[in-house]
Amino acid sequence: MIVRSFATRFLPFAVILIACHAIVAEGDERTDLLKSATAHWLPGVSPPGQLPLTPIGKIDSNLPARGTGARSDARVASLNAAYFDAGPKLNLTGNACTIFVRLRDPQGSWRQAFVAKRGSVEEMNVNFFASQYPGKPCPEVAFELRTDAGFGRASFLVESIDRTAWHDLVARYDGQRIELFCDGRWMATSRHRGTLHENAEPLLIGAWTDAGQTHFRHTGEIEEIALWNRALNDADLAHLVRRESIERPEQKPVYRSPVHYRPEGLTLADTIPFYWKGDYHIFYLRAGEGGTPWGHVVSRDLVHWKELPDALPLGKRTEPDGENVFTGSVIEREGVFHIFYTGWNPRLKIREQVMHATSRDLIAWTKVLSDSFTADGVNYSLEQGPDFRDPFVFWNDADQTFWMLLCARRAGDQSPVTGLATSKDLMSWRQRPPLAGGYRLTPECPDMFPIGNLWYLIVSPSENVTVYRTADSPAGPWSEEPYQALDTPILYAAKRMFDGRRHVLTGWLRDLEGDHEDGAFRWGGTQSIPREVYAGIDGELLTRPVPEVVAVFDKTVFRSQDSEKTVSDSKVTVLPSGELKLNGALTGSRVSWPAPDNYLLDATLRLKPETECALVFRDGPGLESGYRLILRPAQGEVELRGDKFRYRRAVTLPTDHSITIRAFVLGTTIECFVNDAHALSCRAYERTSGRLGLQVAGAGVMVKDLTIKTTTADFETAMPNGEK
């Protein structure tokens, strides 16, 4: 390894003058801005900046900038698996900061650190870098930080930039959000808050530290770095990156669904539903602002949600829930309400613990820290990495004890299991052997309940899909794979509550990375439509939207029985009853109608066994446009697909009587229910409008009725071009 210090590579005095003159010539605003920086370096010149830098590894300096976007008078440093050390004293402090780097990756790999004062995820100050994560289509530029509210992060994929050109990259934190910019263009944001955590790690340019070792050493060229202990405004950023202004994407109007809840500007993750005396309470993990406390909303009708004070805030940094308050459950006993939840804190030797809180009114909660407990090391693993979380508590009448189900790892082989603990008093818990195993992924968010003579165990194997198993008693044995899914992978962490007459299930419709339909799965999203979960005649667990939600759509804007004038396909026949008969033989048939952007569709169809029929939401030109719900009776299958995704479910479709379809097409979510029993959901980011289409191939279909409804509030503007 070669170390080329600036002390041994003095530059001619004229070169320094050229560098300084270049800065001055750029304007007083930029010069003044850089003078106000906490630190500013030009690694290609000597001395490099306001504070000393120690070069480590093979570094060549005083090189002319070359490549796309190079500045003709710039001098740069070329690093080959190397970095600069600015020492441990410089921390970014307070509740705001800005980091600017101008650099190039000639190889286009984008797998290196830029500016970091890290040490570990738990102890970092800031970390600005590029890397490729599993499941991502390409590397991403990311900025991470830690505040007293927890860990925060924002990132964007490098597919959107020239991978071998010079770029001005800026990371900004203003105490409310983290933002990333590239070449004066806004690229990404995430909500975060709190005061920056300081550490004694060295601030490195071109590497980061982890457990005392350096990683992600930089290979590429760096022209300039600057840090501020404040959030530069957009005008300052424009001067900094030599642009007239900061380019931001056009802000599209945000559609607010009348039947979906999501906290303003944040993310709804795991829901913990609880019914009490006419009120439907949804406790939920509120993500997107650093740490994860429990939010709380309540409704009388499962449509209108009132926000209540947070139920469980984060604990102190030294307490088991000092980093996150994760999933649990609510139960009432003798006039006292109990929450059992997961405390998560990687600073502690055991990062996950079961914790307890109590309340008299479901609003104000008192944590009982003395009741916390970890895995016993006998039935369940005590290792740092494995899981011990998501307690679900219920009274088991047959056992005459309270049962607590847990997402856990078996001691010894570390296999994922649904664990069990029991208690007589909700304070002292005895851990017992696992209740169910055989999972490939960690079975998160357990829920157990009976319907008729069967018991059902709902789990969400981590980052996959919500599924269920059946047994004749809570003790099992539980049905083996293949487990039955309740929806597509877009619905996750679904749990239910019993209101005295029905089981009401909620979960979250997951966000996708970058709001792209082929984006990676994100943790959290928007609350799903509340659904009634019930058992079919063969014990299959089925779901349908609750009537309260359906009733919101009370204005009919279109009915197929009134649509003779819209039918022009010669293979479509309008019967005297108003029903439509579509002949799908040979080339098939297709018909479409005007539709609002957001609506509820109710359709009743009669299919022949060999028919393949597609309802197309937000249809456009071309046979494969829009979002398509495809029914295939011969294959016993229903598919929901778009250009970039495909979700299939095995569903028996009758051909001896009608099939009903109910679809909520609302903003970026589509939730479909086949025969009020089988749900298929997707994200619909990329098409916001279009017609409603119907395509048939293979055989015929009878459209007995097809109705589009909207809310009273949206009725006047429901149809495009004023069509009604």
**Strand 166-173 to 54-64 pairing:** unpaired
Over residues 142-186, the pLDDT tens digits come to: 999 998 877 888 889 898 899 999 999 999 999 988 999 999 999
Please check the confidence at residue 8 and state whether its pLDDT lies above 50: no
Please check the confidence at residue 562 and state whether its pLDDT lies above 80: no
- Cβ–Cβ under 8 Å, residues 443 and 407: yes
How far is the C-alpha of 201 from the C-alpha of 658, rounded, in Å?
68
Question: Which residue, 310, 322, 270, is CA-closest to 147?
Answer: 322
How far is the C-alpha of 673 from the C-alpha of 679, rounded, in Å?
5
Please check the confidence at residue 384 and state whether its pLDDT lies above 70: no
Please check the confidence at residue 637 and state whether its pLDDT lies above 90: yes
How much is the pTM?
0.81
Please check the confidence at residue 675 and state whether its pLDDT lies above 90: yes
- pLDDT-based confidence at residue 599 (cuts at 50, 70, 90): very high
Please check the confidence at residue 450 and state whether its pLDDT lies above 70: yes
Which residue, chain included where needed, has tokens 């030294």? 318
Confidence at residue 722, expressed as pLDDT on a 0 to 100 scale: 43
How far is the C-alpha of 268 from the C-alpha of 506, rounded, in Å?
11
Superfamily for 269-548? Glycosyl hydrolase domain; family 43 (2.115.10.20)
Contacts of 316 (CB under 8 A, 6+ apart): 322
Poorest-pLDDT segment among 50-64, 164-178, 582-596, 636-650: 582-596
Poorest-pLDDT segment among 278-282, 328-332, 556-560: 556-560
Which of 68-82, 458-472, 611-625 is the most confident on average? 68-82
Please check the confidence at residue 561 and state whether its pLDDT lies above 80: no
For 474, the token pair is: 């809570």
Which of 2-6, 100-104, 460-464 is the most confident on average? 100-104
Over residues 386-422, the pLDDT tens digits come to: 799 999 999 999 999 999 999 999 998 999 999 999 9
CATH classification of 6-240 is 3.40.1010.20, yes or no?
no
Over residues 85-102, the mean pLDDT reads 96
Please check the confidence at residue 569 and state whether its pLDDT lies above 60: no
Burial of 264 (0-12, 13-18, 19+ CB in 10 A): exposed
Over residues 324-332, the mean pLDDT reads 96
Over residues 452-500, the pLDDT tens digits come to: 999 999 999 987 899 999 999 999 999 987 789 999 999 999 999 999 9
- pLDDT-based confidence at residue 122 (cuts at 50, 70, 90): confident
For 662, the token pair is: 């109910």
Over residues 221-233, the mean pLDDT reads 97
- The domain defined by 552-722 folds into Jelly Rolls (2.60.120)
Over residues 33-52, the mean pLDDT reads 92
Q: What is the mean pLDDT of the chain?
A: 89
Domain ranges within the chain, ordered by starting residue: 6-240, 269-548, 552-722
Confidence at residue 578, expressed as pLDDT on a 0 to 100 scale: 67
How far is the C-alpha of 155 from the C-alpha of 114, rounded, in Å?
14
Contacts of 177 (CB under 8 A, 6+ apart): 189, 190, 191, 192
- How big is the CA angle at 114 (ends 110 and 118), to the nearest 5 degrees? 120
Please check the confidence at residue 16 and state whether its pLDDT lies above 50: no
- pLDDT-based confidence at residue 27 (cuts at 50, 70, 90): low
Over residues 496-529, the pLDDT tens digits come to: 999 999 999 999 999 987 788 888 788 899 999 9
DSSP 603-663: EEEEE-TT-EEEEEEEE-SSTT-SEEEEEETTTTEEEEE-SS-EEEEE----SSS-EEEEE
How far is the C-alpha of 599 from the C-alpha of 707, rounded, in Å?
10
Poorest-pLDDT segment among 2-6, 33-37, 290-294, 310-314: 2-6
- Cβ–Cβ under 8 Å, residues 651 and 674: yes
Please check the confidence at residue 20 and state whether its pLDDT lies above 60: no
Asked if the domains 6-240 and 269-548 are classified in one and the same CATH topology, the answer is no
- pLDDT-based confidence at residue 13 (cuts at 50, 70, 90): very low
Confidence at residue 721, expressed as pLDDT on a 0 to 100 scale: 46
Over residues 220-244, the mean pLDDT reads 96
Q: Residue 578, Cα to own-chain centre: how many angstroms?
A: 44
